[in-house]
Amino acid sequence: MKRFLNRGISLQVIQGMPLSSLIRVIAGNRFLVDSEHLGRLAYLIGIGVFNSILGLCERFFDGEEISKVEIKQSPFFVLGHWRSGTTHLHNLLSLDENFSSPKVYQCLFPYHFIFSQVGSGAMSFLGPRKRPMDNVDFSSLVPHEDEFALAALSLVSPYIKVIFPVTGENWHTELDLDKIPEQWRTSWKEAFLVFLKKMQLSEGGKPLLKSPPHTARIKHLLEMFPDAQFVHIVRNPYEVYLSSLNLWNKSFAKARLQEPSDELVQNQILSWYVEMFELYERDKALIPHGALTELKFEDLEAEPIVELEKIYTRLDLPNFDCFRGKALEYLHGLKKYQKNVYQLDEKTKTIVSEKWCNTFEKYGYNF
């Protein structure tokens, strides 16, 4: 099985859909699957059957218990564009025992993880040891993006467009939830609450969630969780663009069922970035005073403990002294980690500086 996965049928961006949902998404994209990706489609269909069966088992054995769960604490959201340092910040904060972060297995199999996660170790054996785009450690038990779970549960997510980059606009892939039909927006919120109930049942604690698309959903997150807290991280736009391109070429490329042109990928990266920051800047004033703090990735990288203490102070989070030791130990373990190094050509530099000029100016980055 591992040899089969290594030949290109690897863990997928959204592999948590039951068969009925997968068929619905494929039909919504007019069944336009490129012939070279029929193997991936077959894999998703097989996993869809697996999800459908285990989902029925979870509803039968655990459904009543899940429905009775109360979400006792509002989530803490790590916001930021893809490749801005959200994973690093999320991993650090997840060391705080007061928080509870969804794990890879829970996000990839949201329909049945309460029932099936006893066997989650098998995914660590089958999956990669490192993330393909940045060599960050990867296993079934590391913190992960709840977006993968929400996409599978609700079928509302920009990640649908990762699977169908050419025809994805025919589905509900908007960053701005106001552009999505109300019934689908309601379904997304209901799916979110179900996922958090399962997290509460499985993990307890205050939910610590990291999903780049949440950066564009502040209004709707506050409607659901008025007491939510937020930290937003930004990074040099040139680095974000080059790293995002690497994400699309090395990670997302292993999950798509259609082959996009280089121009389409570039335009998608550029447009999502602009829209995400516009929505964030528009709605961040809705966040109550004292519930939002912002930082730069470069500052977190240079003085991590100083920046983490600022987050705890500004958001009035408890027990920083206990957390500090765990953070220092984790950071010590990263000393041998080597970041990707990118070359920025003049053409790309011009395009990025022109399209993303507002962010350069807003956050004080040099053109």
Can you tell me which residue has the tokens 């989650």? 120
pLDDT of residue 2: 44
What tokens does 27 get? 């039909």
**Total structural domains in the chain?**
1
* Cα 204 from chain centroid (whole Å): 20
pLDDT tens readout for residues 237-280: 999 999 999 999 989 999 999 999 999 999 999 999 999 999 99
List residues bridging with 79 in a β-sheet. 232
Spatial distance between the Cα atoms of 364 and 236, rounded to a whole number of angstroms: 9
pLDDT tens readout for residues 123-169: 555 556 565 545 566 666 789 999 999 999 999 999 999 999 999 88
List b or e across 259-273, with b for residues whose CB sees 16 or more CB atoms inside 10 angstroms: ebeeeebbebbbebb
Spatial distance between the Cα atoms of 126 and 148, rounded to a whole number of angstroms: 19
Q: Assess contact for 128 and 11: CB atoms under 8 A.
A: yes
DSSP code for 142: S
Non-local (6+) Cβ contacts of 18 within 8 A are: 48, 51, 52, 55, 111
pLDDT of residue 135: 59
Handedness of CA 6, 10, 11, 15 (dihedral sign): negative
pLDDT tens readout for residues 23-40: 999 999 999 999 999 999
Q: Which residues of the chain have pLDDT under 70?
A: 1-10, 119-140, 337-338, 340
For residue 78, the enclosing domain spans 2-363
Edge-to-edge, what's the strand order for the sheet holding 229-234?
99-100, 206-210, 76-79, 229-234, 292-296
pLDDT of residue 1: 41
Q: Is 102 left (phi over 0), alpha (psi -120 to 50) or beta?
A: beta
pLDDT of residue 242: 96
pLDDT of residue 313: 98
Q: Assess contact for 196 and 63: CB atoms under 8 A.
A: no
What tokens does 111 get? 């329909």
Spatial distance between the Cα atoms of 43 and 299, rounded to a whole number of angstroms: 42
pLDDT of residue 284: 97
Q: Assess contact for 100 and 136: CB atoms under 8 A.
A: no
**DSSP per residue over 279-348, as a string?**
HHHHHGGGSPTTSEEEEEHHHHHHSHHHHHHHHHHHTT-S-HHHHHHHHHHHHHHTTT---------HHH
pTM: 0.93
CATH of the domain at 200: 3.40.50.300
Nearest to 250 by CA among 318, 143, 342: 342
Nearest to 308 by CA among 143, 144, 84, 89: 89
pLDDT of residue 4: 42
